[in-house]
Structure 1
Amino acid sequence: MNEKRLDNPAYRNGRDLPEIDCVLIGVNSAKTLGRCIESIRSGSYPPEKLRICYADGGSTDESIAVAKRYDGVRVLALTPEYPTPGLGRNAGWKSGSAPLVQFLDSDTIVDPEWFHKAVARMRDARVGAVIGFRRELHPERSVYNWIGDLEWNGPVGESDCFGGDVLLRREALEATGGYDETLVGGEDPELSRRVIRAGWKIERIDAVMTRHDLAMTTVKQYLKRAYRSGYGFAAVRAREARLGSPFWKADFRKIAIKGGGFIAAESLAMVTLFAARPSLTSMLASATIGLAGVPLLFSPRLFKVGKFMRENQLGRKEAKIYAWHCSAVVLPQLAGVARYYAGAIAGRPLRNKRSALKTGLSQPET
């Protein structure tokens, strides 16, 4: 670790704040990258203590040119055949030397006070990672952005994982080896678990960390994101299960039981209807079997609206919308789970195509 330890009295008195390597990753992120860099530099933390690195995953737009317009920004132009978040993040933190590393997606905006608040929590030597709240810039622009704003965050206090925006000790990265570069989803929670097993705590503080524009406006985008999240659930759960960890066990079981049970019931209903001679009995049997799968899939909408109202402080209308999401999302997630296991058997994991990766805005900024 850096010779100046974070628990030094000079840090506690605010006379000598630690340096921070800010690692931004992106592919085709020209629309948002400049805004992210400017948010880092315009905050209250001393700019001379912040070192910015942009790790580009093989952009075909003006992303690299945008980054080079800013003096002092270190640019790593990576050209992997199949880019992953872990590749960029590892290249970024390994190119620096600061005792703290802030990872950011290039489509985020850092809160002006974030670094001061996060560093203050890092004075506890047991804390290896600090996270805050990620807030959507425009939840009103689409129901998908609104759902993202609900789901980005968890309760304040000790956490079992972090996401793409996190302040980490370099010590923790060196001890764990950093990110798994093969994962196209779930790479942040996967590293989180190794950080915890190495002896550190992850803390969520009561502070806004970043603002973000999910820029999701279509059903296709929603389904693709859910599919990839299902793939990530399966990939991380497989690793954790081998270690005897219960992490994401309940989430994985929910996808398997609700989504799998519904698909199984509907499939059996179709077999019952068409495998036998058409009759009133076969139709009734098919309908009964098909209806049996409905409560499995739609249990959030049928039984949990009140719970969502209380836990998320939502009105009944908003809670119903969120319940529909929680019901339907398991189907594309189940497809992602199936893709993970099929790929594991065939030796063909899911891979990113550079041409398909980009960041954007919900609508042009004015």
Structure 2
Amino acid sequence: MGDNWFDAVVIGRNEGDRLARVLQRATTHARRVIYVDSGSHDDSVAQARAAGAQVVKLDPARPFTAARARNEGFAALGPDRAEFVHFVDGDCILHTDWPETATVFLQQNPKAGLVHGYNVEEAPDESVYNWLTNQEWQHQTGPDANGIGIFLARSAAFAQVGGFRDDMIAAEDDELFFRLRKAGWQTWCVPEAMAAHDVRLHAFLPWFRRMIRAGHGFAELGMLHEGAARMSRLRAVVWAGVLPALAVLGLWVWWPLGVLVMALYAMSAARLWRRCRSQGLSSYRAAKAAALLVIVKFAHLYGMALYWGGRFRRSDAKIIEYK
């Protein structure tokens, strides 16, 4: 019932062999597939053509962003586009039942501008970084869900709000969802498995860069939409800015202040450890995850500083790659 009700826009950059599986699943269900390539150096373009997708290669004269890629893919569909369009990242394989679930949902809910389900990491137990990423995907369900770059949209709603902001390097999905809701559309998350994601994070630095990118997005969202990501920004400022400053001040003024700050970090880590243990992690891995969840505030604050520094210099943001 759901097949051929939608077109698909798949974006990618050097996704390797996985792209063939992503495209195979998309072409199985979609009426038409556009593959948008952001300067790949591997055989991604050849794989896309072999799979029967129409290829759009982004002009490198302008900065590559996922937002720009999705917009250009949507534009390539032209005026004869389907009623719905599914945006898919090149490292995400749609679940077999999801396309029908999503198209039927939009058909039955005319106020829904889009719908997405859950991304699930293919290998959450391979590393604590994969596990943390899998936790990120567990969005609250309902008609005003947070953003995610993989979703089935009503083409008319997407076009009405002008698509993504091309220049955003992070949180472009959240920003789009805000504008859709302001335009009167619902942005749904339903409790269904949507896609298998392969983040492939096995080391600290790539994960930390990914979190820097998230912090950049928090800052820009807050600038564009009052109140957006407020708690995320506040936590970063307090835990990675105010408390370290107080600890340093304590070294010079009153040493118990530094001890108090360290006690706050320890209590936060202990609380996070208990939460991770309750979600099935071993004691060792829960301790590592808890430490990372404390450290992540520093990455977020750094990403926020990058955004504000670029804004002060009036320079374009550069994509933050982590893989």
TM-score when normalising by structure 1: 0.80
Say whether residues 1:78 and 2:58 are aligned partners.
yes
Choose the corresponding residue for 2:101, options 103, 117, 121. 117
Alignment of 1:7-46 (within 5 A): 14=1, 19-42=5-28, 45=29
Q: Is the contact made by 2:147 and 2:175 (CA closer than 8 Å) also made in structure 1?
A: no
The whole-number CA distance in structure 2 between the counterparts of 1:32 and 1:176 is: 32
Q: What secondary structure sits across from 1:109 in the alignment?
A: strand
Structure-2 residue corresponding to 1:302:
270
Choose the corresponding residue for 1:257, options 238, 252, 255. 238
Q: Structure 1 residues 163 and 235, CA, compared in 2 at 3 Å: closer, same or farther?
A: same
Q: What secondary structure sits across from 1:122 in the alignment?
A: helix
Alignment of 1:180-219 (within 5 A): 180-219=165-204
Q: Is the contact made by 1:18 and 1:100 (CA closer than 8 Å) also made in structure 2?
A: no
**1:307 to partner: Cα distance:** 5.0
Q: Is the contact made by 1:298 and 1:328 (CA closer than 8 Å) also made in structure 2?
A: no
**1:253 to partner: Cα distance:** 0.9
Aligned length: 317
Alignment of 1:84-123 (within 5 A): 84-96=65-77, 97-123=81-107
- Between structure 1 and structure 2, the one with the greater Rg is 1
**1:179 to partner: Cα distance:** 0.5
Q: What is the one-letter code of the residue matched to 2:39?
A: G
Q: Provide structure 1 residue ranges, at least 5 long, that are not aligned to the other structure.
A: 1-13, 273-281, 360-366
1:249-280 superposed Cα distances (whole Å, 9 cap, x missing partner): 1111111111112331243245x2xxxxxxxx
Say whether residues 1:289 and 2:270 are aligned partners.
no
1:113-133 superposed Cα distances (whole Å, 9 cap, x missing partner): 001101121021011110101
1:312-339 superposed Cα distances (whole Å, 9 cap, x missing partner): x435736544432221110111111111
Q: Structure 1 residues 332 and 344, CA, compared in 2 at 3 Å: closer, same or farther?
A: same
The whole-number CA distance in structure 2 between the counterparts of 1:342 and 1:298 is: 31
Q: Is the contact made by 1:56 and 1:78 (CA closer than 8 Å) also made in structure 2?
A: yes
Alignment of 1:165-184 (within 5 A): 165-184=150-169
Choose the corresponding residue for 2:308, options 341, 347, 355. 341
Q: What secondary structure sits across from 1:30 in the alignment?
A: coil
Q: What is the one-letter code of the residue matched to 2:280?
A: L
Structure-2 residue corresponding to 1:7:
none
The whole-number CA distance in structure 2 between the counterparts of 1:303 and 1:109 is: 35
Structure-2 residue corresponding to 1:158:
143
Q: Structure 1 residues 269 and 31, CA, compared in 2 at 3 Å: closer, same or farther?
A: farther
Alignment of 1:123-134 (within 5 A): 123=107, 124-134=109-119
TM-score when normalising by structure 2: 0.90
Structure-1 residue corresponding to 2:40:
59
Say whether residues 1:314 and 2:280 are aligned partners.
yes
Q: Is the contact made by 1:40 and 1:112 (CA closer than 8 Å) also made in structure 2?
A: no
Q: What is the one-letter code of the residue matched to 2:20?
A: G
**1:297 to partner: Cα distance:** 4.3
Q: Structure 1 residues 322 and 265, CA, compared in 2 at 3 Å: closer, same or farther?
A: same
**1:152 to partner: Cα distance:** 1.1
Q: What secondary structure sits across from 2:167 in the alignment?
A: coil
Alignment of 1:142-157 (within 5 A): 142-157=127-142
The whole-number CA distance in structure 1 between the counterparts of 2:64 and 2:7 is: 22
Q: What secondary structure sits across from 1:293 in the alignment?
A: helix
Q: Structure 1 residues 297 and 225, CA, compared in 2 at 3 Å: closer, same or farther?
A: farther
The whole-number CA distance in structure 2 between the counterparts of 1:299 and 1:190 is: 34
Q: Is the contact made by 1:21 and 1:93 (CA closer than 8 Å) also made in structure 2?
A: no
Q: What is the one-letter code of the residue matched to 2:297?
A: V
